[in-house]
Amino acid sequence: MLDFPRWRVWMLNTLIILGVLFAIPSVLPTHIRAQIAQFVPTPTINLGLDLAGGSHILLEADTSQLAETRLEALEDSVRTAMRRADPRIAISDVSRTNGQLSFTVDSPAQVDAAREALLPLTSNATGSRDWNIGVNDGNRMILTPAGTGDETALDQAMDTAKDVIDRRINALGTLEPTIIRQGENRIVVQVPGLDDPEALKALIGKTAKLEFKLVDEQADPDQTAQGKARVGSQVLPYPDNPSGLPYIAVRRLGGISGDKLVKADPTFDSQTNEPAVTIQFDSEGGQKFARMTQQNVNKLFAIVLDGQVISAPQIREPIFGGVSQISGSFTTESANALSISLRSGALPVDLKIVEERSVGPDLGADSIRRGILAAVIGTTAILVLMFLVYGRFGMYANFALVINVAMILGVMAFANATLTLPGIAGFVLTIGAAVDANVLINERIREELKRGRRVVQAIEFGYKEASRAIFDANSTNVIAAVLLFIFGSGPIRGFAVVLMIGIVTSVFTAVTITRMWVSRWVKRTRPHDLTI
C-alpha cells in the first residue's frame, strides 16, 4: 500500500500543479490578472451576485395574454381573407371567447368557400395545423387552437423576447448580462455590478408595443368615464389627458401598429422644448402611416404605448416620409428608455418581474472581505491545531488541505463555475471532510501503534482501515450533492456543485497525496518509532 511507482508520483504531482495553476488567476487582484491575460488564458471563478453585487431578475410571460394576442392576429387575418375572397364573403358576429374565434358566414352557400379561404391561415410553415376549423348550425365557423400551436407560439415568443432583452441591455452600455430561458415561460436576467437596478427593470419590463389609433371623437364623455365605449370603439387609460379625464375612447380599427420602425431616438420638441422621441417607419410602415394621416386630416389620433395613451395630437397635415415625433410628458431619461425599447423591438409577450435579487456592490464587497477574513482565520486555526496534535503527519495533512482548497478553486475556474454564499457553506463542509479524513487516518495509526504494531505496518493499517469510513462518508455526501443538484433551486445548486467538486478533490488530497508523502518519508528514513 505504501508502494508508489515513479509514474504514479509524476501523475499525482502533475495533477496537483494543474489544479493549483488553474486556481491562481482567481486569487490574483484584477489589474494583475488583466496584465497576465494578454499572454495566457486566465480562467476564473465567477462570483455569484450575492457576493459580487448585481441584479438577478426573473421574468415570467403571461401565457394567457399570448393566446389572446394570437387570437387577435387570427381575427385580423380572417377578416382580411374574407374581404379579399372572390366573391367577397360577408361575415358577422365575430367573437373571441374561451380561446376560440367564431363568426357567422352570412350566406350558408359560402361556407365551403370560407373554409377554403381559411385553410392557408390555419396551418403553419411546416405544414402542421395550428387551428382546427369547425362548423356549427350550418354557417357558424369556429376556430380552435390545435395541438401544439400555443406551445410553439410561446416558445418562439420567448426566444424573441430573450433577443429583445439582450438588445435592450446592450444599449445600456458595457454590462455583462447573462440572459437565459428557464422552463417554458421564464427568462432569467443576471447583470453583475449594477448600481441602479431600477433603470434596468424599467427597460426590460416594458413591452414597448406602440400603436397609433384614431380617437373616437363622437364618444360620450360620460360613457367613457364609466369605461363604456360604442360598438367598434374601446376605452383606454390616458393619464395625461388635458381634459382631465384619465380615459379616452379610440376606434378599434383603422389604426396602425408601430412595430415596423427602423429608428427611434430621443430628441427635444422643437416648439415646447420638452423631451420627445422621434421614430422612423420602414417603407411599408411609412406608406401605411402616410395613408392613415392622409385620410384623417384634422382628426385626433392617439399614440398608444402598452395599452396606455401617451398623447393624442391632431393630424394637421398628411405625414409622408415615415418620420414622426412622439411627445408626452417625458423626462430625458424616460425618452431615452423609450427609444431604446422601441429600437430593440416590442416584446412579443408581456413579461412580469416575479423575482428580483439585487445586491449593492458595497454589501457584496463587505460580504467577501469579512468572509475571506473569517475563512483565513478559521483555516489557520485548523492548520495550527492539526500540527499541534499530529506533528509531522499533521503537516502533511495541512499541505494537503491547502492544495485541496487550491484544487477546488482550480476545478471551479476550469469549469467556469460560480461561487455563491451557499457555495461557501459547501466549501466549509468539504474542508471539514478533508480534515476529517486525515484525522481518521492519523487516529487509526495512533491506535494501531498503541496495539503494538510496527511503524510501517501501523501506517499501512491506518490508511487501509480508515479508507472504509472515508469512502462511506464521502459516498453519502456525493449522493446528497447529486440529489440537491437535481431537486434544488439556484442557490442550493451552487452548494451542490462545490460539494461535488470538493468531495473528489478532498479524497484525492487527503488520502492519496498524503499517502504519497508519507510513503516517501518512510522509504527515506525507515523510522523505528513514530510520534503521532
Amino acid at 143: L
**Out of 147, 331, 479, 520, the residue judged to bind another protein by CB under 8 A:** 479
User: Which one, 130 or 460, has the nearer CB to another protein?
Assistant: 460
Specify the stretch interacting with another protein by CB under 8 A; choose among 163-171, 254-262, 293-301, 474-482. Answer: 474-482
Q: Which amino acid is at 304?
A: V
DSSP type of residue 129: B
Size of the site for another protein (CB under 8 A): 84
Q: How far is the CB of 299 from another protein (least distance, A)?
A: 36
Nearer Cβ to another protein (123/379) = 379
Min separation Cβ 366 and another protein, Å: 6
Q: Is 203 in the site for another protein (CB under 8 A)?
A: no
- Residues 6+ positions from 56 with CB-CB distance below 8 Å: 49, 188, 189, 190, 355, 356, 357, 358
Closer residue to another protein, CB minimum distance, 36 or 353: 353
Judged by CB under 8 A, does residue 527 bind another protein? no
As a whole number of angstroms, the distance between CA 143 and CA 75 comes to 10
Residue linked to cell 457576493? 51
Our CB check for another protein shows the closer of 140 and 357 to be 357
- What span, in angstroms and rounded, lies between the C-alpha atoms of 336 and 187? 24
For residue 58, state whether it binds another protein (rule: CB under 8 A): yes
Pick left, alpha or beta for residue 57 (phi over 0 → left; psi -120 to 50 → alpha; otherwise beta).
Answer: beta
390 binds another protein (CB under 8 A): yes
> Where does 345-417 show beta strands of DSSP type E?
351-359
Which position among 162, 511, 514, 519 is part of the footprint of another protein (CB under 8 A)?
A: 511
**Which residue is associated with the grid cell 402542421?**
128
* Span interacting with another protein, options 69-77, 108-116, 338-346, 461-469, rule CB under 8 A: 461-469
Shortest Cβ 332–another protein spacing (Å): 18
**DSSP annotation string for 443-464:** HHHHHHHHTT--HHHHHHHHHH
Residue from 28, 290, 375, 402 in contact with another protein (CB under 8 A)? 375
The whole-angstrom separation of Cα 178 and Cα 191 is 6
In the structure grid, which three cell numbers stand for residue 129, read together?
395545423
Is residue 520 a contact residue for another protein (CB under 8 A)? no
Rounded to 5 degrees, φ, ψ at 130 are: -95, -35
Site residues (CB under 8 A) for another protein, limited to 297-316: none
**Judged by CB under 8 A, which stretch of 173-181, 264-272, 316-324, 418-426 contacts another protein?**
418-426
> CB 456 → another protein: shortest distance, Å?
18
- Within 481-510, the residues that bind another protein by CB under 8 A are 483-484, 486-489, 491-492, 495, 499, 507-508
* Residue at grid coordinates 472515508: 470
394 within 8 A of 466, measured Cβ to Cβ: no
- Cα(248)–Cα(246) distance, integer angstroms: 7
Minimum distance, C-beta of residue 306 to another protein, in the bound complex (Å): 13
The C-alpha cell at 154 is: 410561446
Q: Which stretch binds another protein (CB under 8 A): 112-120, 137-145, 255-263, 462-470?
A: 462-470
